[in-house]
Amino acid sequence: MDRRIANIILIGMIAGAILGVLGGLWLSDFMLSIKFLGTIFLNALKMVVVPLVVASIIIGVTSLGDVSKLGRTAGKTLAYYMATTGFSVLVGIILVNLIRPGQGVPPIGAEVPEFIAGKGGGTIVDVIVGLIPDNIFGAAATGQILPLIVFSLLFGGVLTVIGDKGKPVIAVFEGINAAIMKIVMLIIYFAPIGILALIGGIVAQNRESVDKLITALGLYSLTVIIGLLIHAIITLPFILRFFGKKNPFRYFVNMGRALATAFTTASSSATLPLTMECVEVENKVDERAASFVLPLGATINMDGTALYEAVAALFIAQIYGIDLSIGAQVIVFFTATLASVGAAAIPEAGLVMMSLVLTAVGLPLEGIGIILAIDWFLDRCRTTVNVWGDSIGAAVIGETREFNK
């Protein structure tokens, strides 16, 4: 996409977001009436996710050439995900212990929300079993990206070892990938309006809880936001500079449209088409690395979510006056990391996974009811950091030996 047009669209997206907030506060009926435009934008993004994930993983794997390279790349990618996620959780745990946002906060609204009751985040075994789809079309139809990734990795890997028979199949997926990226470009033109309508609708719907951002739950929100900011503007740019060998500021500006979409949609997976566009086309990261790292990252690498899980769990402990030992906080560290891996890349998934963390250290699930009111906002913030972390992962992996041209 032409740089000038890309900039105009980015400005349009920011203007859309600002007008959306103002409209949501003062023209809420109008904003609710145009909310469907946001839904169209969101649907259009979701529409391309399944073919994009499948095609890009398959061509990512096949372009690596040999399977041993795939193994090394996968290892390095997972190491990057785990290290950055673990670091963000650590920042969250330190901050929540320093700020102690839960002290003196009454447990108002403490009840297990309906969408969590009886559902929960499942166990670790469920997450592992869920990796293998019993029906790939079923997984695609229900938006379960992780099993699709596993299948695509397998399929791509096998295509490289069947020789000539695999070549036309690879060519088909290359064509699909190029076509889908073109569709993504078309959807991006619609982004400013989509963002205006989505933000306007969400603010209009949550007007009452906007004040909660600054009152009872204010300190808690602030703790999450400070943690996310530390991760997003110190830790990750540092990694990008030294391991990804890129200018963090320029990289950030080039990621603008994807980050704005992440904030608006609160879904890493709906943002994936734009993340790929911004990383590959704008930031010129090696396509072979990006097409492998980004779909996987959107699903399992969630630094923002992990940090939030840890802060929220310890905040709930503080509200109930439960002093968690160092040992229990270590458990929070590991379960928050795992919960972020298991969380689907869709809105509020992190909140659902909270039950995993709370149960692990014996905290009351009712605590989720307390933080529910402002989750719509924190969800957007953490999703933005999730996508930022994925994009930097692509740059880091793109600089590894396997991709040296």
337 sits near ligand ASP (criterion: CB under 6 A): no
**Nearer Cβ to ligand ASP (282/379):** 379
> Could you tell me which stretch among 15-23, 225-233, 243-251, 345-353 binds ligand ASP (CB under 6 A)?
345-353
71 contacts: CB under 8 Å, gap ≥ 6: none
Among residues 173 and 263, whose Cβ is nearest to ligand ASP?
263
Taking the least distance from each CB to ligand ASP, the nearer of 155 and 263 is 263
Distance between CA atoms of residues 301 and 295, nearest Å: 10
Which residue in 200, 350, 369, 389 binds ligand ASP (CB under 6 A)? 350
Q: Does the protein bind ligand ASP through residue 346 (CB under 6 A)?
A: yes
The CB density around residue 206, as the number of other CB atoms within 10 Å, is 17
User: What is the rounded distance in angstroms from the CA atom of residue 220 to the CA atom of residue 210?
Assistant: 14
SS3 405: coil
Identity (one letter) of the amino acid at 314?
Answer: L
Shortest distance in whole angstroms from residue 350 CB to ligand ASP: 3
Please give the residues from 239 up to 268 whose contact with ligand ASP meets the rule CB under 6 A: 266-268
Cβ atoms of residues 57 and 292 within 8 Å: yes
Query: How many chain residues are in contact with ligand ASP, going by CB under 6 A?
Result: 16
**Minimum distance between the CB of residue 351 and ligand ASP, rounded to whole angstroms?**
6
Instruction: Tell whether residue 349 is a contact of ligand ASP (CB under 6 A).
Output: yes
Q: Is 301 in the site for ligand ASP (CB under 6 A)?
A: no
Q: Among candidates 106, 113, 102, 86, which has minimal Cα distance to 355? A: 113
The site map against ligand ASP for 20-39 (x = CB under 6 A) is --------------------
- In DSSP notation, 110-157 reads -S--TTTTTT-S--HHHHHHTTS-S-HHHHHHTT-HHHHHHHHHHHHH
Residue among 259, 53, 246 nearest 147 (CA): 53
- Whichever of 306 and 361 has its CB closer to ligand ASP, that residue is 306
Q: Confirm if 393 and 84 have CB atoms less than 8 A apart.
A: yes
Minimum distance of ligand ASP from residue 115's CB (angstroms): 12
Write down the residue that tokens 């205006």 correspond to. 196
Stretch near ligand ASP under the rule CB under 6 A, chosen from 83-91, 280-288, 326-334, 382-390: 382-390
For ligand ASP, the closer CB: 70 or 306 = 306
Q: Report helix, strand or coil for 206.
A: coil
If one asks whether residue 355 binds ligand ASP (CB under 6 A), the answer comes out as: no
d(CA 239, CA 29): 45
Given a contact cutoff of 8 angstroms between Cβ atoms, the answer to whether 376 and 326 are in contact is no
Closest CB to ligand ASP among 209 and 247? Answer: 209
- Point out which residues bind ligand ASP (CB under 6 A): 266-268, 302, 305, 343, 345-350, 379, 382-383, 386
